[in-house]
């Protein structure tokens, strides 16, 4: 199939892009990498009346440390973030999760921010942003605002962006020292497929080796990425032994209502939520221990 007819604009500034988005409202879509949007357009599952191509807007492809956070611009490609020394050192969960996205050829064109704005509940990067307690830097007709990851995703392929707004960048806190470790694990039917379930964990240890803080987020188990707060609460203050982590991970399936589809039943996804949580936390804690030992 071919896309439905649409108009195409290529603004040179963020302000011009916002003006087009505000003028056309929900009939307009932003084009950055296009790896998800164009596929949907070709099957007519998405039929925007206007495409606002932001690839000619300068200054949106940066990756840098800024005021204690790692900032990734709207045109930074997934492959660039995956290989970035800044991201690997200061936000390694994003690099590790990003390496699981589709295939390298897709990641060379797809953008980090585009994946997050697309809000696929099975995708890796939205869940990683949630685990890192990151935020979206949003520009719109009323100026700039920030949206915490916990407030950004409102449903499958839905966000809290208002009409006329675009995500200019995301920000995530810098890694919290040598005693912090992170890990991403997932199960997919084939390499490059969206995960049936994935989990990202960030674990920080105190001087005695107990869990000072833990953050866990899951994808593929709901209409949005899901924060496993019950697991985090169970881990707080505990020594991250295999037994303690396994006991805490059992709580990952509480209150989950995952979908059933040809890739996996709801029961299978709940089982995977526990297993992926356990593995991600164990790996993150081990990396935190290794970092502390070499500090």
Domain identity same for 84 and 166: yes
If one counts the domains in the chain, the total is 3
Strand 197-205 to 180-187 pairing: antiparallel
Torsion of CA 60, 65, 71, 77, to 10 degrees: 60
Q: Give the model confidence (pLDDT) of 107-117 as tens digits.
A: 999 999 999 99
**Tokens standing for residue 122:** 């099975």
Do 15 and 83 sit in the same domain of this protein? no
pLDDT at 84 > cutoff 90: yes
In a shared domain, residues 205 and 237 = yes
| Same domain for 47 and 107 | no
Residue 293 has pLDDT above 90, yes or no: no
Q: pTM here? A: 0.96
- Residue 245, domain CATH: 3.30.390.50
Residues 77 and 22 in one domain: no
Residues 215 and 139 grouped into a single domain: no
What confidence tens digit (pLDDT) does each residue in 175-197 have?
988 899 999 999 999 999 999 99
Q: What is the CATH number of the domain that holds 90?
A: 3.30.465.10
Helix (H) or strand (E) holding 88: helix 85-90
Enclosing domain of residue 264 = 180-294
- Reported confidence tier of residue 284, pLDDT bands at 50, 70, 90: very high
Classify residue 58: in a domain, yes or no: no
Q: Would you say residue 246 lies in a domain?
A: yes
Rounded distance between C-alpha atoms, residue 60 and residue 139, angstroms: 12
Q: Looking at residue 38, which CATH number applies to its domain?
A: 3.30.43.10
Q: Is 197 in the same domain as 146?
A: no
Give the helix, strand, coil percentages of the chain, each rounded to 5.
35, 25, 35
Q: Look at residues 112, 147, 172 and tell me which one is the last residue of a structural domain.
A: 172
């Amino acid at each position: 199939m071919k896309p439905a007819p649409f108009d195409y604009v290529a603004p040179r500034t963020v302000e011009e892009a916002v003006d087009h988005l505000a003028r056309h409202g929900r009939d307009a879509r932003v084009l950055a990498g296009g790896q998800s949007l164009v596929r949907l357009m070709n099957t007519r599952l998405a039929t925007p009346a206007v495409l606002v191509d932001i690839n000619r807007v300068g200054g949106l492809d940066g990756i840098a440390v800024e005021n204690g956070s790692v900032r990734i611009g709207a045109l930074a490609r997934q492959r660039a973030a995956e290989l970035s020394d800044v991201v690997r050192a200061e936000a390694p969960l994003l690099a590790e999760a990003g390496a699981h996205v589709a295939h390298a050829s897709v990641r060379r064109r797809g953008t980090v921010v585009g994946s997050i704005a697309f809000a696929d509940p099975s995708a890796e990067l939205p869940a990683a942003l949630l685990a890192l307690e990151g935020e979206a830097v949003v520009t719109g007709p009323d100026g700039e605002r920030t949206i915490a990851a916990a407030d950004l995703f409102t449903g499958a392929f839905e966000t809290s962006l208002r009409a006329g707004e675009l995500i200019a960048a995301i920000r995530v806190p810098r890694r919290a020292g040598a005693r912090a470790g992170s890990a991403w694990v997932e199960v997919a039917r084939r390499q490059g497929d969206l995960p049936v379930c994935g989990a990202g964990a960030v674990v920080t240890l105190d001087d005695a080796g107990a869990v000072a803080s833990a953050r866990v987020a899951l994808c593929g188990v709901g209409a949005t990425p899901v924060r496993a707060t019950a697991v985090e609460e169970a881990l707080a203050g505990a020594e991250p032994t295999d037994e303690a982590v396994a006991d805490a991970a059992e709580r990952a399936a509480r209150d989950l209502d995952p979908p059933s589809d040809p890739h996996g039943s709801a029961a299978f996804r709940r089982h995977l939520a526990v297993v992926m949580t356990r593995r991600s936390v164990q790996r993150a804690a081990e990396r935190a221990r290794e970092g502390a030992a070499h500090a």
